[in-house]
Amino acid sequence: MIIHNNEIAQKLDEMGDLLAIKGANKYRIRAYKNAARSIRSQGRRIDEMIDSGEDLTQLDSVGKDLASKIKEIVSTGELSDLKKLKNQLPSTLLNLLDLEGLGPKRVKRLYDVLEIETQDDLKKAADNEKIREVKGFGKKTENNIREQLLDNNEKDRRFRIDKVEELIEPFRAYLQNIDTVSDLVIAGSYRRRKETVGDIDFLVIATDSKNMIEAFTKYEEVKKVISKGNTKSSVMLKTELQVDLRVVEKRSKAPALLYFTGSKKHNIKLRKLGIDKGYKINEYGVFKDDKRIKCETEEDIYKLLNLEYIEPELRENRGEIKAAKRNKLPDLIENKDIKGDLQMHTKHSDGSSSIKEMVEKAIEIGYEYIAITDHSSYIGVTNGLSDSEIPSYLDELKRVDEEYSEINVLSGIEVDVLEDGKLDLTDESLKRMDVVIFSIHSHFNLEEKKQTDRILTAMDNKYVNIFAHPTGRMINKREGYKYDIEKVVQHAASSNIIMEINGSPSRLDLDDINSKMASDNHVSLVINTDAHSPKELSFMKYGISQARRGWVQADEVINTLNFTDVIKKFKR
């Protein structure tokens, strides 16, 4: 039985959430949450580490007690302590935490007062205007809950790209090891690097189609075989992710890859362009007067249509074909362009590792510089820094910077924006930093003008540099807060504020659309990981993908600059 890291982390998260709902000690809750984050950030599978006899207490935030619980999850698929908690509190309460504005204390109050256990219970209470009567709630909160529940019902089930990656890359490796397979690619929205994926499309060239289909359906993570034919099959994995496989001829690989990569709107435009030139383009090939035109690569097909090659991330029918006709496609940013990471967190706030551990991982990656940007203290859950703690924090950063000659360690802070647009730390503290990031972690439901004015006020503080995760959305959990983003983008351009593309796969914020808007308005961008552990520095690849989808070029991103030039960007 395979136990993925995300499955282990989910059970630890559930423990932390149920303990929080129950009102347990905050340090105990934080221990489970930190361990879950640590497990998710590991590059290796935890079950394999256990099988090889490795000591789990060597992992960040995992002590002896938690190590034994992780082993229990891996060996049994369950956690007895979690079962006990679920006997004391309905496990469905966890689903309520997905809604914006419902933290553990509020969920517990709704449970105690209105006996709400599920989202259906919550909807009935909101429809009957019962929630507004509970202490600490009101009409506005009730309406917000109702709107979120309506939005959730209308959304298709989609999976975050990092979670899909964890499931699909082992599946890919399994299929590639089959003797008859000569080539295998993944198409669809996964190849276009969309932030969420609905299903997976495997395209395979194999000498024995029947054997290929049989092996595909026998994969140990398959829960259900939906269909099984001679050259194609569909299965449902245990996680409810649908995976489709098609065995294609070698001569059809390029047109099949183009077709199944999508997007649908992009393909329709291509087919129409082909028809105008006398070609028929489908998943089987490119034809003229029923004669097959040899196209060994996607590049060959685009060239046949007098188009520049269009990278998969751009194939969304957002003007890429028009640009390709004029040879005006952007030279998209690549992983190799990045020289540093300018947002990460340590044990000085809600990170799981020390400053040195983050620095050493950055050196291993090959970065020229990083910024340590722990939180300010306004949001209690981040365990952030107050003005009085800033001097000792800066002293430690300076010592570490002097100790490691291979890299430049910038002092930074992620400071909260208060409701009125003022910042959580004094200017005296902020001006001592090399880089100041400001972000919104509270008061998401302000009316649009007030939220816009709040952000503009924060931007006008002369010590701030970067607007972090600028819409505040959490993928598959909450929408971003509402404000006039066009006005904010224009203000950022005129006041030299840098806007972030946050690479954390739970955020990917700015998204692709807003990244392009910022780029079009000549706003400087930065791609950061928002890492809370050394392993999470690998989130840079997700930020790069999001930037590429937004047509972003390397020269528009400040952390492609060398250290001397990036420092100049912080002088407003």
> What are the tens digits of pLDDT across the range 83-127?
998 888 887 888 888 787 788 888 888 888 888 888 888 888 888
**Residue 330 counted as domain residue:** no
* Residues 6+ positions from 470 with CB-CB distance below 8 Å: 485, 488, 499, 500, 509, 510, 514
pLDDT band of 565, cuts 50, 70, 90: very high
pLDDT (0 to 100) of residue 553? 98
Residue pair 189/29 in contact (Cβ under 8 Å)? The answer is: no
Q: Where residue 278 sits, what CATH number does that domain have?
A: 3.30.210.10
**Residue 284 counted as domain residue:** yes
> What are the tens digits of pLDDT across the range 494-507?
999 999 999 999 99
Instruction: Quote the percentage of the chain above a pLDDT of 90.
Output: 75
In a shared domain, residues 319 and 379: no
In a shared domain, residues 240 and 178: yes
Separation of alpha carbons 310 and 301, rounded Å: 11
Type of residue numbered 360: E
pLDDT band of 154, cuts 50, 70, 90: very low
Domain stop point among 199, 227, 247: 247
Nearest to 507 by CA among 211, 162, 60, 85: 162
Domain stop point among 279, 296, 325: 325
What pTM does this model have? 0.83
Q: Rounding to the nearest 10 degrees, give the CA dihedral for residues 302, 307, 309, 314.
A: -110
Domain stop point among 126, 154, 182: 154
What radius of gyration, in Å, describes the C-alpha atoms of the chain?
25
Range of the domain at 203: 159-247
Q: Which phi and psi (to 5°) does residue 280 adopt?
A: -110, 120
Separation of alpha carbons 128 and 140, rounded Å: 14
> What are the tens digits of pLDDT across the range 363-421?
999 999 999 999 999 887 778 999 999 999 999 999 999 999 999 999 999 999 999 99
Structural domain count, the chain = 4
Q: Is residue 134 predicted with pLDDT exceeding 70?
A: yes
Tokens of 501: 């593309």
pLDDT (0 to 100) of residue 556? 98
For residues 2-6, average pLDDT: 81
In a shared domain, residues 522 and 553: yes
| DSSP states of 450-493 | HHHHHHHHHHTSTT--EE-STT--BTTTBPPPP--HHHHHHHHH
In a shared domain, residues 374 and 501: yes
Tell me whether strands 291-293 and 285-288 are parallel, antiparallel or unpaired. antiparallel
In a shared domain, residues 503 and 390: yes
* Residues 6+ positions from 369 with CB-CB distance below 8 Å: 339, 340, 407, 408, 409, 410, 563, 566
Q: Where residue 81 sits, what CATH number does that domain have?
A: 1.10.150.110
Q: Where residue 165 sits, what CATH number does that domain have?
A: 3.30.460.10
